[in-house]
Amino acid sequence: METLEYNTQRVQLKLREYGRNVQNLVAHLKTIDDKEERNKKAATLVELMKLINPDLGKDNESDQKVWDDLHIISNFELDIEGPFPKPDASVLDRKPERLQYYSNEIKYRHYGRGVEILIDQAVAMDDPKEKEGAVVAIGRLMKSFFQTWNKESIEDEQILKNIKRLSNDQLDINIETVKELGLFDSDRKHSNRRSNNNNKGRRNNQGGKGRRNNNQGGRGNNRRRN
- Tell me the pLDDT tens digit for each residue of 156-199: 999 999 999 999 999 999 999 999 999 999 754 444 444 455 55
Contact status, residue 121 vs residue 134, Cβ threshold 8 Å: yes
Statement: residue 32 has pLDDT above 90: yes
146 or 10, which is more confident: 146
Distance CA 142, CA 129 (A): 20
pLDDT reported for residue 3:
64
How does DSSP assign 43-100, residue by residue?
HHHHHHHHHH-GGG-SSHHHHHHHHHHHHHHTTT------SSPPPPGGGGTPPPPPPP
For 124, half-sphere exposure in the C-beta direction (CA atoms, 13 angstrom radius) is: 6
Share of the chain above pLDDT 90, in %: 49
Distance CA 27, CA 200 (A): 85
Residue 220, classed as helix, strand or coil, is helix
Number of H helices, E strands in the chain: 8, 0
pLDDT reported for residue 171:
95
**At 140, which amino acid appears?**
R
pTM given for the model: 0.43
Contact status, residue 66 vs residue 50, Cβ threshold 8 Å: yes
pLDDT reported for residue 104:
64
Measured distance between the N- and C-terminal CA atoms of the chain, rounded to whole angstroms: 134
Distance CA 13, CA 117 (A): 47
DSSP state of 155: -
Identify which of 166, 172, 153 has the alpha carbon closest to the alpha carbon of residue 112: 166
